Homo-oligomer: A and B are copies of this chain.
Amino acid sequence: MKNIMLAHGGGGVEMNSLINDIIFEIFDNDILKRADDSAVLGEFKNLAFSTDSFVVDPIKFNGGDIGKIAACGTINDLAMVGASAKYLSCAVIIEEGLDIQTLKDVLNSLANICRDSDVKVVCGDTKVVPRGKCDKIFINTSGVGEILVPNIGVNSLKSGARVLLSSDIGRHGGVILASRNEFELQSELQSDCKSLKGVVNALISAGIKPLCMRDATRGGLSAVLNEWAVASGLEILVHENKINVCDEVQGICELLGFEPYELANEGTFVVAVDECDAQKTLEILKSFDENASEIGEILDSKNSRVIIQNAYKSRRFLEPPKGELLPRIC
């Protein structure tokens, strides 16, 4: 393979191979290779650091826009390592001719999420490229946050842990799919795009020590569970009937041949906790979103794979996503 394909950005097998075989090799260091959602920097006391670029198309969608997603994405990546986001950078690449009101709208969305999440945008950068050299606007946010609980990450996954999901799945991916296919459904469904700082802080304040958390963005729930299975070397079992999928997302998946497990989310996360913390975790997740559920557990088996069981106890592998899932989902 000599050239970059869309699949290299899709969150599936091809992206993992690009990251593992090329990028990690070039920037060879232990912090990066831990491959958590944020880097944990020992040198600066309790500091976590994360980055994400956003190229979502369309830039405005039901339930959000590129500014909202840019703020939530990095705040959430910090939350996933148990860090409370404090400061964000905001770097924009703007296509010549973009109307200034659109720029203001998306930056206001970004600023509103930051205000609500008690996060300050403290540095930025503005580039403008000629017409046709980018598409309207791309936004990078990087963030620093304070780690509230140490050692949350794939290294802490272990057999016996319970796996919970903070919401129903597939709404962000469903909205983007619908907007590109001009469905009737479009007006009903809202992206799940939101900041997870509040719910994660609530879990930690309640004394829960999550083992590992991951927001189910590109590649969806399936990508997260498969990454966890590979990283831990353990087998994960989840129950189909415990994973909530709303009717609109189910409908879009049936029409277009997608699996809801592979659709992106932008405010929904997976969390593994010790069995003794599972009930309390579920209560707190449900107080933020009634569609939260306990979906499965990590088995005492070194098979490094994900099994999904349906209501009739029939089991199949939940394969990692592959191919061109959906370009420019975030």
By a beta-carbon cutoff of 8 Å, the part of chain A in contact with chain B is 1-10, 15, 18-19, 22-23, 26-27, 29, 31-32, 38-39, 41, 43-45, 47, 49-55, 57, 86-87, 89-101, 103-104, 107-108, 110-111, 114, 120-130, 132-135, 138, 140, 142, 144, 146, 327-328
Instruction: List 27 A-B residue pairs with CB atoms under 8 Å apart, sorted by A's residue number.
Output: A1-B100, A4-B103, A6-B128, A7-B128, A8-B128, A18-B126, A27-B120, A27-B124, A29-B121, A31-B120, A32-B121, A39-B87, A39-B123, A41-B86, A47-B47, A47-B144, A49-B142, A50-B89, A50-B123, A51-B91, A51-B125, A52-B91, A52-B125, A93-B138, A125-B140, A130-B327, A134-B134
Q: Determine the residue in chain B with the shortest Cβ distance to A56.
A: B127
Q: Which residues of B contact A26 (CB under 8 A)?
A: 104, 107-108, 111
9 shortest A-B CB distances, which residue pairs?
A9-B128, A142-B142, A51-B89, A39-B122, A27-B121, A140-B140, A39-B123, A53-B91, A31-B122
Q: Which residues of B contact A87 (CB under 8 A)?
A: 31, 39, 41, 49
Taking A9-B94, A134-B138 as given, write out 10 further A-B residue pairs in contact, using a Cβ cutoff of 8 Å, ordered by the A residue number. Answer: A1-B100, A3-B99, A6-B96, A22-B104, A26-B108, A39-B89, A41-B86, A44-B45, A49-B89, A93-B138
A6 to B127, CA, bound (A): 9
Q: Which residues of B contact A111 (CB under 8 A)?
A: 26-27
Once A4-B94, A93-B53 are accepted as A-B contacts, the answer to whether A114 and B27 lie under 8 Å apart by CB is yes
Q: Determine the residue in chain B with the shortest Cβ distance to A31.
A: B122
Once A4-B103, A31-B120 are accepted as A-B contacts, the answer to whether A327 and B128 lie under 8 Å apart by CB is yes
Q: Which residues of B contact A53 (CB under 8 A)?
A: 91-93, 125, 127, 140
B97 in contact with A22 (CB, 8 Å): no
Q: Which residues of B contact A2 (CB under 8 A)?
A: 99-101
Q: Which residues of B contact A32 (CB under 8 A)?
A: 120-124
A162 to B134, CA, bound (A): 42
Most chain B Cβ neighbours within 10 Å, of A41, A45, A128, A134: A128
Closest CB in chain B relative to A296 CB, distance in Å:
28
